[in-house]
Amino acid sequence: MPVTVVVGAQWGDEGKAKIIDLLSKEHTHVVRYQGGHNAGHTVVVGGDRYALQLIPSGVLYDHVVPVIANGVVVDLPTLFDEIDALEARGHSCERLAVSSRAHLIFPWHQAHDAIAEAVRGDDKIGTTLKGIGPAYADKARRVGLRAGDVGDLDAFAVALRARAEAEDAQIRAAGSEALDIDEIVERFVRLGARLAPYVADTVELLHEALARHDHLLLEGAQATFLDLDHGTYPYVTSSNPTAGGACMGTGIGPREVTRVVGITKAYTTRVGAGPFPTELGDADGDRLVEVGKEFGTVTGRRRRAGWLDCAMLRQAVRLNSLTELALTKLDVLDGFEEVKVCTAYEIDGTISRGYPDRSVLLARARPVYTAMPGWSETIGEVRSPHDLPDGARRMLELVQDEVGIKVGVVGVGAERDDHLQWTAT
């Protein structure tokens, strides 16, 4: 299993970090391939909670080389806050490698994010306001500054000032506060100097690892339905979390990838705006939010919640070539009298098992549900599939039948060890 990709199969926060932490035991490198500090990845070890935004979730193991690859957009203040916090807790980040090709985020990206959201008014996307979209836009416009640019700090300072002056004019024209250009240049040159020792040709580093038959884990942030191309546009992020993005975002070709694990919760959540066919506006929805503690790691926002959607998961299998699912938070369904799973959509009177290509259609989709009796037991201590209540077993079997691939790991709690293996993978 030399290269494994882990990708969210829904709208994010599926518990990817917990599964990556688990899989890290058998991998040498854990590599973030897209997104930035819009991600919030939680790992809980012996009661200690780690909330990671940029550093790969494998960092808690000493044997893992954490890599931030070329597809990521890097916010330097966040990166160093995270390194400092991890090192203060005894986790060295010395091995961290940051791709010379990774683009950097600057304060004007955050200003543009806020301006764009304000302009959208009621139609706003509900971004994390971290500057992710504008940073990727600058990459596409070919005006971005990259981690490798800190190799020559004098040239970096000149380029930084030129970019800051151009952006300042635009931001002021949009009615926003002027940038403090001198402060930004001074601060980011200092941060650039601190970044320099971490910068590497990660394409070279990863291919050398492949040549040694090391095991690489490519960590997706966000999720399939937040993908810029395949998600619910425009209610998406500005990168490609889908498995193809793992190749582009690391410089590893598709033939190297041997395993693609899709992560899903036992229900569905979404944070920010956009269509959500199985969303619940009732007491069941409130219960999922409260029991599942569905509040954003990064922004603290209450997540929207609803039943599991197998129409989504089938599409996620296609888009990512998923080889298996890991299903998390099954314990959150404990005590529901009835559990529902969406198996198809009714759109304008027609029932379809496919996935609509436009958000306006998805917004009109009415879920077709299979309802089944829930279970009254608490499953947090269960470690064997045979010990799961009948209702939970039936649900997992239904998901496998509907989605067409096996469920491997099942999460029954937030702690590192709170899981069981449903089927061998």
The one segment of 123-131, 210-218, 257-265, 409-417 that binds ligand IMO by CB under 6 A: 123-131
DSSP-assigned letter for residue 1: -
Of 40 and 356, CB closest to ligand GDP:
40
Rounded Cα distance, 407 and 385, in Å: 11
**Is residue 55 involved in binding ligand IMO (CB under 6 A)?**
no
In the three-class reduction of DSSP (H, G, I as helix; E, B as strand; rest coil), residue 349 is classed as coil
The one segment of 116-124, 180-188, 324-332, 398-406 that binds ligand GDP by CB under 6 A: 324-332
Rounded Cα distance, 150 and 65, in Å: 22
Rounded Cα distance, 176 and 169, in Å: 10
Of 200 and 379, CB closest to ligand GDP:
379
Which listed residue (5, 9, 243, 271) binds ligand IMO by CB under 6 A?
A: 271
Which listed residue (4, 8, 56, 219) binds ligand IMO by CB under 6 A?
A: 8
**Is residue 40 involved in binding Mg ion (CB under 5 A)?**
yes
Location of structure tokens 């893992």: 64
**Is residue 130 involved in binding ligand IMO (CB under 6 A)?**
yes
* CA R_g for the chain: 22
Measured from the Cβ of residue 231, the count of other Cβ atoms closer than 10 Å reads: 22
**Number of C-alpha atoms within 13 angstroms, CB side, residue 181?**
16
Name the token pair of 125: 């996307």
**Is residue 10 involved in binding ligand IMO (CB under 6 A)?**
no
**Is residue 331 involved in binding ligand GDP (CB under 6 A)?**
yes
**Is residue 39 involved in binding ligand IMO (CB under 6 A)?**
yes
Rounded Cα distance, 79 and 68, in Å: 10
Question: From the CB of 141, what's the least distance to ligand GDP, in Å?
Answer: 29
Cβ(303)–Cβ(289) under 8 Å? yes
Measured from the Cβ of residue 177, the count of other Cβ atoms closer than 10 Å reads: 9
Question: From the CB of 197, what's the least distance to ligand IMO, in Å?
Answer: 27
Question: From the CB of 134, what's the least distance to ligand IMO, in Å?
Answer: 9
| Binds 38: which of ligand IMO, ligand GDP, Mg ion, none (CB < 5-8 Å by kind) | ligand IMO
Residues sharing a CB contact under 8 Å with residue 71, sequence separation 6 or more, in sequence order = 33, 34, 102, 239, 240, 245, 248, 249, 250
In the three-class reduction of DSSP (H, G, I as helix; E, B as strand; rest coil), residue 178 is classed as coil
Measured from the Cβ of residue 40, the count of other Cβ atoms closer than 10 Å reads: 19
Site string for ligand GDP, 27-46 (x = CB under 6 A): -------------xxx-x--
Question: Is residue 13 annotated as part of the catalytic site, yes or no?
Answer: yes
Catalytic position from the list 27, 41, 112, 419? 41
Name the token pair of 202: 């990660």
**Is residue 13 involved in binding ligand IMO (CB under 6 A)?**
yes
Of 40 and 262, CB closest to Mg ion:
40
| Binds 271: which of Mg ion, ligand GDP, ligand IMO, none (CB < 5-8 Å by kind) | ligand IMO
Question: From the CB of 395, what's the least distance to ligand IMO, in Å?
Answer: 23
Question: Is residue 37 annotated as part of the catalytic site, yes or no?
Answer: no
Cβ(108)–Cβ(138) under 8 Å? no
Binding site for ligand GDP (CB under 6 A): 8, 12-18, 40-42, 44, 297, 328-329, 331-332, 411-414, 418
Catalytic residue numbers?
A: 13, 41
Binding site for Mg ion (CB under 5 A): 13, 40
